[in-house]
Amino acid sequence: MHKFLKASTAALALAVAATGANADGHALSGDLVIFSDMSNPAPRAVMEGMVERFGEMHPDLNIELTVIDREAYKTQIRNFLTANTPDVANWYAANRMKPYVDAGLFEDISDVWEGQLSEELASTKGAMTLDGKQWGVPYTYYQWGVYYRKDIYEELGLKEPTTWDEEKANCQAILDSGRKCYTIGTKFLWTAGGWFDYLNMRTNGYDFHASLLGGNEKWDSPEVRATFANWKELLDMGAFVDNHTSYSWQESLPFIVSGEAAAILKGNFAVPPLREAGLDDSKLDFYQFPAITDGIAMAEDAPTDTFHIPSGASNKDAAKAFLKFVVSAENQTLINAGDALGQLPVNSKSSVDDDKFLLEGFEMLSSNSPGGVAQFFDRDAPAEMAKVGMEGLQEFMVKPDNLDAILARLDKAAERIYK
């Protein structure tokens, strides 16, 4: 393992040094200030590793890395983009970066994308494009889906469901065995957004879903009501763990680890903590969220995490070089490997690590998601709408009978937000 790492690091250094020499012809120097939200243990190690390797390639460059707690980062970014600007900062793709693009706080880096890079990163270029320009680079994306306890399914003689009826039948069997079907922690709301994304995309299809979050459909419509009716079937069965409003997603994991719940709908970032808690590949497995309405093309959530250059950055040369380094095929292979981020590389020339979940996810996104790829509830909808919406979703999960009031509230909010 160690040897492999060393060898690839050396190869990488050589490769990038070669391209760097061609492109710039001069050595990078000065300070490069990076603010990062990669604060969980595995991402943090990845970020520090990247800085170290980039630093080795540019010995004259003094790199200062500041890692900020991922949740806190979301509020701090507004401050540090306007004052005390770093040269490179993490953020998210699509609608989520729109406020900063509109306010002119992110640098247009279309020149970085020119030529070869656009081909290699074709799959995520759309998510990074606003007004026909590119405003950052992706560094990772990941599939969403149902992660379940294989051993429990085997014990009960269940198979991975592909239809909604199978899904419900499985869930009933799990409930009868004294467990809950799904664990979820909705304290920070967005986890409920994942459930709505999937239920709505499976009930009404990707196009309707995108149109709803884009403000072109009514919430109080037969389509959305059908989605909630499907959700209510699960709620009436008691499929979710009790008291989920008190937990963050991390705090909801012990239920699946202990076997009190059999599955979780989550992004692939849930795999490392679950593995660490002792669920090896014989106990943990993955399936694509099953179809609900017949004939509707499957669509998936695959959120993209990104790097940007604030327009107030002082060392843009070095920042651009760093962004190119981040998306280079070799680095992508390395940082998205199963023992690093454990996610999917954005560069098509990179190789997906030989990891059960990554291979399945890559396969699913590249061949079994004809309907389209969504970013996520709170990245596709404008921030304010996402907030009101996810609060309504959480309320629905606790009090399904309030549906009429919730839908009316969402429509009222939508009227103001999208005008």
Partner 1 sequence: MANVAVPQSEYQAPKERGWYKRNEIAVTPWLFLIPGILFFMVYVIIPIFQSFYYSTLSWDGLGEAQNVGLANYAELWDDGAFYTSLKNNFIWLALYLLAIPAGLFIALLLNQTVWGIRLYKSLFFFPFVISQVVVGLVFGWFYDPTFGLFNIALGWFGLGPINVLGDEAYVTYGIIAAGLWPQTAYCMILYLTGLNAVDPEQIEAARLDGAKRLKMLWYVVVPQLKPATFIAFVVTIIGALRSFDLISIMTNGGPFGSSRVLSFYMFEVALSEYGFRMGYGAAVAVVLFLIMLVFITYFLYSMYNEEKGR
Regarding 94 and contact with partner 1 (CB under 8 A), the answer is: no
Binding string to partner 1 for residues 51 to 90, with x set by CB under 8 A, is what? Answer: --------------------x--xx--x---x--------
Query: Could you tell me which residues come within 8 angstroms of residue 248 by beta carbon, excluding any fewer than 6 positions away?
Result: 185, 187, 188
Regarding 186 and contact with partner 1 (CB under 8 A), the answer is: yes
Nearer to partner 1, 56 or 71 (CB): 71
Burial (Cβ within 10 Å: 0-12, 13-18, ≥19) of residue 246:
exposed
**Within 13 Å of residue 413, how many CA atoms lie on the same side as its CB?**
20
Regarding 6 and contact with partner 1 (CB under 8 A), the answer is: no
Residue 289 gets which letter from DSSP? P
Out of 398, 404, 415, 418, name the contact with partner 1 by CB under 8 A: 398
Query: Could you tell me which residues come within 8 angstroms of residue 326 by beta carbon, excluding any fewer than 6 positions away?
Result: 50, 137, 139, 307, 332
Out of 301, 330, 378, 380, name the contact with partner 1 by CB under 8 A: 378
Residues 34, 86 contacting (CB under 8 angstroms): yes
Is 4 in a helix, a strand, or coil?
Answer: helix
Out of 60, 64, 102, 114, name the contact with partner 1 by CB under 8 A: 102
Regarding 285 and contact with partner 1 (CB under 8 A), the answer is: no
Regarding 100 and contact with partner 1 (CB under 8 A), the answer is: yes
Which two structure tokens, joined as six digits, stand for 388?
């009101």
CA 394 – CA 373 distance, rounded (Å): 24
Q: Looking only at residues 239 through 268 of this chain, which bind partner 1 when binding is defined by CB under 8 A?
A: 242-246
Regarding 99 and contact with partner 1 (CB under 8 A), the answer is: yes
Out of 47, 263, 313, 386, name the contact with partner 1 by CB under 8 A: 386
Q: How far is the CB of 241 from partner 1 (least distance, A)?
A: 9
Out of 14, 17, 23, 103, name the contact with partner 1 by CB under 8 A: 103
Closest by CA to 287, choosing from 141, 371, 162, is 162
Q: How far apart are the first and last CA of the chain?
A: 55
Out of 120, 346, 394, 407, name the contact with partner 1 by CB under 8 A: 394
Going by DSSP bridges, is the β-strand pair 30-36/88-92 parallel, antiparallel, or unpaired?
A: parallel
Residues in binding contact with partner 1, number by CB under 8 A: 31
Binding site for partner 1 (CB under 8 A): 71, 74-75, 78, 82, 99-100, 102-103, 105, 186-189, 242-246, 378, 383-384, 386-387, 391-392, 394-395, 398, 409, 416
